[in-house]
Structure 1
Amino acid sequence: MTGPLSAILGFGLFGVFCLAFTEKILPIPPSHVLLLFLGMTAAPDGVTLLILLTVTTLASTSGCLVWYAVGRRIGFDRAGRLVEHLGRYVFLRPATYHKLGQTYRLNHLGISLLAQFIPTVRNYLPIAAGALCLPALPFAATTLFGAMLWNAGFLVTGYLLQGSGQDSFTVGFRVIVIVVALETAFMLALRYGPACRRRIRLVRG
């Protein structure tokens, strides 16, 4: 393992925290790639795996709280304009952001949890939570739980690949492809699902 990633991981748990935190600010590399890689290369035993889960979960939650603070500081209208200007650079459609942001008003705990499983949205929807002045403690607790579930899935998968007897990186690549495909399908359903349902109702009507 060489390059910048190796240098960062050379700082131990602090390096792991920095990687997971930075991924929440700018998702490069995507979280599933980073977590799977950490599970395969940085967890020699179960205790270390648990420590990695704790550190990455705290880092992911901290990154979300940074965006929550940004949203709280700039307000709802300016947060929306920020996403409209910058969303295309991080693959976040403003329409998707606004749609999920509106549902926050109805069920902010459920959306905070769901957001941790949606590509890109998991990084930037906390802006809407802050802009809407949603209660910080419930938001943080729900985000922490969602991040723990998401991180655990990929860390454990990477850890199990170590002793599978198969080429870990080949299997890992396949896992990433499957996850990306599922995320893409979810985003397409979120984007086109309402329009399809309206067309079906018109045809039936």
Structure 2
Amino acid sequence: MDLMQLLDMVLHVDKMLGQVIANYGTMVYVVLFAIVFCETAFVIFPFLPGDSLLFIAGAFCATGAMNPWLLVALLLIASISGNTINYWIGSLIGHKVMERDYRWIDKNALKKTHEFYEKHGGKTVVLARFVPIVRTFAPFVAGFSEMTHRTFQLYNVLGALFWILSLVLSGYFFGNIPFIQKNLNTIVLIGVGAAVIPLLLGALWKLFRRVASKA
């Protein structure tokens, strides 16, 4: 396999998973672990497949091609450790920025971001798991904003559990239904919207009450 073929397989592994299993057997666990780890650990890999990969992997588990418990355990380790490394990278860069005086960086904005993550960061870390690209940047921003490590890890683990279990198990039970296969991305977005909209309405209600009390 040349470099271009390898790159194509990695970028489209969610569509080629059956072929990967047929050609490489148990090495598929290593491939899936590496992809989930890299997507969550490094901000330069937001383009790697995430939600669809987990769902389709669950569907292949239903056929007996993979062990669902082994898969879930490995993906949990990959996603939790990946987010942790991303958090520490953001934390390291954030401290250096705060120690030096850069004209192009607003330190007050950084402090406000830190306060936001202290109050609402947990929700962000959990919900970001279900949003491509945002999933890759959320832990970095959490570290950059100096979100406490204990708080981050709590929501990091919760987010990983919800993300991995919901998608892998959904794929396991429903992955072979054609309608769901064709509309997976839409279904995921609807689910995220159902979780996010109540939070936004709650924030708007608090803002309205503050404005009303000042008036």
> Could you say which TM-score interval applies, normalised by the shorter chain?
0.5 to 0.7
**In the alignment, what sits opposite 1:146?**
159
2:185 is the alignment partner of 1:176: yes
After alignment, is 175-184 or 32-41 more displaced?
175-184
Question: Unaligned regions of 5+ residues in structure 2, if any?
Answer: 1-7, 99-108
**In the alignment, what sits opposite 1:130?**
143
Query: Which whole-Å CA distance do the structure 1 matches of 2:63 and 2:158 have between them?
Result: 25
After alignment, is 186-195 or 134-143 more displaced?
186-195
Closer, same or farther: CA 107–67 of 1 in aligned 2, 3 Å: same
Equivalent of 1:60, from 79, 86, 90?
79
Contact 1:158–1:172 under 8 Å retained in 2? no
Query: Which whole-Å CA distance do the structure 1 matches of 2:119 and 2:198 have between them?
Result: 21
Closer, same or farther: CA 8–140 of 1 in aligned 2, 3 Å: farther
Residue 147 of structure 1 and its aligned partner are, at CA, apart by: 0.8
Residue 155 of structure 1 and its aligned partner are, at CA, apart by: 0.6
**In the alignment, what sits opposite 1:22?**
38
Query: Which whole-Å CA distance do the structure 2 matches of 1:169 and 1:27 have between them?
Result: 27
Residue 59 of structure 1 and its aligned partner are, at CA, apart by: 0.9
Contact 1:104–1:129 under 8 Å retained in 2? yes
**In the alignment, what sits opposite 1:13?**
29
**In the alignment, what sits opposite 1:83?**
none
Residue 153 of structure 1 and its aligned partner are, at CA, apart by: 0.9
Question: Unaligned regions of 5+ residues in structure 1, if any?
Answer: 80-94
Contact 1:20–1:60 under 8 Å retained in 2? yes
Residue 72 of structure 1 and its aligned partner are, at CA, apart by: 1.1
Residue 48 of structure 1 aligns to which amino acid in structure 2? N
**In the alignment, what sits opposite 2:129?**
116
Please report the TM-score for the alignment, with normalisation by the length of structure 2: 0.62
* SS of match in other structure, 2:119: coil
Residue 40 of structure 1 aligns to which amino acid in structure 2? A
Closer, same or farther: CA 182–160 of 1 in aligned 2, 3 Å: closer
**In the alignment, what sits opposite 2:52?**
33
Residue 180 of structure 2 aligns to which amino acid in structure 1? V
- Count, aligned residues: 183
Residue 20 of structure 1 aligns to which amino acid in structure 2? V
Contact 1:21–1:63 under 8 Å retained in 2? yes
Contact 2:76–2:164 under 8 Å retained in 1? yes
After alignment, is 28-37 or 176-185 more displaced?
176-185
CA RMSD of superposed structures (Å): 4.1
Identity, in percent, stands at: 24
Residue 43 of structure 1 and its aligned partner are, at CA, apart by: 4.8
Residue 123 of structure 1 aligns to which amino acid in structure 2? T
Residue 114 of structure 1 and its aligned partner are, at CA, apart by: 4.0
